[in-house]
Amino acid sequence: MKARVGGLVLSHSIHSGPTLVLGNAHLERAVQPGTSPVTAGLAGVARNSIDILAGDGAATLRACHAPGCVLYFIKAHPRREWCSIACGNRVRAARHYQRTRRR
């Protein structure tokens, strides 16, 4: 069966979706069958997430050090400590405020 969505023809064939499982004290990817194009799209997102969490990039995944920030980022530079420029600026501004307040 096929569906037409936004000019694209999507097939309703069976797509495989990844699952994250704990095996041998490590996170590993397992394949679980899905049934819809939505599942296939979400499977792509899940596949990328699993590659980040269970792959070689897991060692570079860091939490943002800015107060109140709950985001994570891939540390691509040794001096990077924040998820965005805005978080880094907030930390620097707070540090400056504390220094000038003490004087």
pTM score, two decimals?
Answer: 0.55
pLDDT at residue number 8: 46
Do residues 36 and 70 both lie within one domain?
A: no
Do residues 19 and 45 both lie within one domain?
A: yes
Name the band, by pLDDT with cuts 50, 70 and 90, for residue 64: very high
Q: What is the pLDDT of residues 8-38, one digit of tens each?
A: 444 444 446 667 778 787 788 776 665 577 7
Do residues 87 and 39 both lie within one domain?
A: no
Domain range spanning residue 2? 1-54
Do residues 16 and 32 both lie within one domain?
A: yes
pLDDT at residue number 34: 54
pLDDT at residue number 20: 76
Do residues 30 and 71 both lie within one domain?
A: no
In the chain, which residue ranges form alpha helices assigned H by DSSP?
A: 37-54, 85-102
Do residues 2 and 50 both lie within one domain?
A: yes
Do residues 65 and 49 both lie within one domain?
A: no
Task: Tell which residue, 9, 5, 47, has the closest CA to residue 29.
Answer: 47
Q: How many domains does the chain have?
A: 2
Average pLDDT of the chain is 78
